[in-house]
């Protein structure tokens, strides 16, 4: 490719140009007028004065080059999503490039039948909604408005029927919110209108509502992103199912353990003190049952206490609770003792309990103080108090 005036500021790759000397593969080349002749110069070697001369044409060529890469809509498919109006079943979904409809519209332009808003060039591209019902065809197409006075023509993308698409009539369920002076590809439009159909109970007509709809091109990046999203969702569901199965197994195991604990607790509580010591002292159960402390309710090795009955198997503070007059959770006996003086039964909270585990009621204990003969020995076993 030879450098000349008409290519001023044009960008080219090192493989496509004709120039003397060694070519740099890591830099684009610019067509510049240098030393009284046009030549290709590496962009990284260009001088400031030369850049100032060509920056306008360079900027224009860069813009056109980028537009050619990102704006070529031929043969691509679209995805329209996030429309929340009652027309969403028409709008949301996959829209495939319709080569037949595009070619037919292009042929009309070539044959001179460019009427009724039929466009030329990139504006001819038409997209068809994929649907199981072949009779329910919907199309995405661009409409060019007619001249109104001195106002320039405007371009608007529409979703409408096949009949409206063929004559480029601006009528349907979905349209570009702000018309543009030149046609842009649909995925570069940020704002849309959706037609809100009237409800069956409403007597008023429908209305155009601003939509948060997104139009995306189904390029490689979209397909990769969509594949990642589907894989993540699949893994999330599989993980959730696995967690539910594990939780069900854990709950089942807990229920079985609770049943075995109930049986073991009942059997353990029926053993005599000597039998319990013999059981907990065996090598088989030494790691499970602690000799010093063993809660007969939860089988923990926390510090245990017995109730007022000497035959109690003992329970930890957590299982026993704070109410001392309730039936013992370990041995199940009532917390009542007989006073050996007045021969009456009293709750634990109304008794003076000695070290020997015998007790007298507070009433008898107080009377002994009143008569000047306080109790110094247990009335039952004569142990020192």
Q: How much of the chain, in percent, has pLDDT values that exceed 90?
A: 20
Output 153-161 pairs: Cβ under 8 A, ≥24 positions apart.
153/181, 154/179, 154/180, 154/181, 155/119, 155/123, 155/179, 155/180, 155/181, 155/182, 155/183, 155/184, 156/180, 157/186, 157/189, 159/90, 159/91, 159/129, 161/137
Q: How much of the chain, in percent, has pLDDT values that exceed 70?
A: 82
Task: Assess contact for 130 and 94: CB atoms under 8 A.
Answer: yes
Q: Which two tokens stand for residue 359?
A: 């007790």
DSSP symbols for 76-100: --EEEE---STTHHHHSEEEEE-HH
Q: Which two tokens stand for residue 1?
A: 């490719």
Mean pLDDT of 143-151: 67
d(CA 259, CA 265): 10
Confidence class for position 240, pLDDT limits 50, 70, 90: very high
Confidence (pLDDT) at 113:
47
Q: Which domains does the chain have, with CATH numbers?
A: 5-70 (no CATH), 78-218 (no CATH), 271-331 (no CATH), 335-385 (3.30.40.10)
Instruction: Report the helix count and the strand count for the chain, using DSSP H and E.
Output: 8, 18
Mean pLDDT of 342-358: 89
Task: Assess contact for 347 and 371: CB atoms under 8 A.
Answer: no
d(CA 295, CA 321): 13
Per DSSP, helices labelled H in the chain are 48-70, 88-91, 99-110, 162-166, 220-269, 273-280, 317-320, 362-370
Q: Give the three-state DSSP class for 358.
A: coil
**The model scores a pTM over 0.85:** no
Q: Is the pLDDT of residue 133 over 90?
A: no
Q: Produce one character per residue of 182-219: b if its CB has 16 or more CB atoms within 10 Å, e if not.
A: ebbbbbebeebbbbbeeeeeeeeeeeeeebebebbbbe
Mean pLDDT of 3-22: 75
Burial of 172 (0-12, 13-18, 19+ CB in 10 A): buried
Task: Assess contact for 214 and 82: CB atoms under 8 A.
Answer: yes
Q: Which two tokens stand for residue 43?
A: 């962009």
d(CA 158, CA 183): 12
Residues recorded for the chain = 385
pLDDT tens-place string over residues 175-232: 999 988 887 888 888 899 999 888 766 556 788 999 889 998 887 778 888 888 888 9
């Amino acid at each position: 490719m030879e450098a000349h005036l008409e290519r001023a500021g044009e960008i080219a790759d090192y493989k496509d140009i004709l120039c003397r000397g060694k070519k740099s593969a890591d830099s684009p080349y610019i067509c510049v007028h240098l030393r009284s002749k046009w030549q290709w110069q590496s962009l990284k070697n260009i001088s400031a004065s030369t850049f100032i001369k060509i920056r306008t044409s360079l900027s224009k060529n860069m813009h056109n080059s980028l537009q050619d890469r990102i704006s070529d809509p031929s043969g691509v498919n679209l995805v329209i999503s996030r429309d929340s109006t009652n027309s969403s079943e028409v709008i949301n979904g996959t829209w495939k490039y319709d080569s037949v409809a595009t070619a037919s519209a292009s042929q009309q332009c070539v044959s001179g039948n460019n009427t009724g808003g039929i466009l030329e060039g990139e504006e001819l591209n038409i997209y068809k909604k994929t649907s199981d019902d072949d009779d329910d065809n919907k199309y995405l197409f661009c409409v060019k408005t007619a001249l109104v006075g001195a106002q320039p023509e405007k371009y608007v993308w529409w979703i409408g029927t096949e009949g409206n698409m063929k004559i480029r009539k601006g009528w349907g369920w979905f349209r570009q919110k702000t018309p543009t002076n030149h046609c842009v590809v649909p995925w570069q439009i940020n704002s849309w209108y959706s037609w809100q159909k009237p409800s069956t109970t409403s007597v008023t007509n429908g209305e155009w509502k601003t939509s948060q709809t997104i139009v995306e091109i189904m390029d490689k990046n979209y397909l990769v992103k969509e594949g990642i999203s589907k894989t993540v969702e699949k893994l999330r569901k599989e993980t959730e199912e696995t967690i539910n199965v594990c939780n069900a197994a854990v709950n089942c195991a807990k229920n079985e353990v609770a049943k075995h604990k109930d049986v073991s607790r009942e059997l353990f509580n029926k053993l005599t003190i000597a039998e319990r010591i013999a059981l907990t002292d065996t090598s088989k159960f030494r790691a499970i049952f602690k000799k010093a402390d063993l809660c007969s309710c939860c089988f923990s090795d926390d510090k245990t206490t017995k109730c007022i009955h000497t035959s109690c198997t003992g329970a930890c503070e957590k299982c026993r609770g704070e109410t001392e007059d309730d039936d013992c959770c370990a041995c199940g006996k009532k917390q009542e003792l007989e006073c050996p003086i007045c021969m009456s039964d009293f709750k634990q909270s109304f008794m003076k309990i000695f070290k020997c585990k015998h007790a007298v009621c507070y009433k008898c204990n107080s009377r002994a103080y009143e008569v000047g003969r306080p109790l110094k020995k247990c009335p039952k076993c004569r142990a020192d108090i």
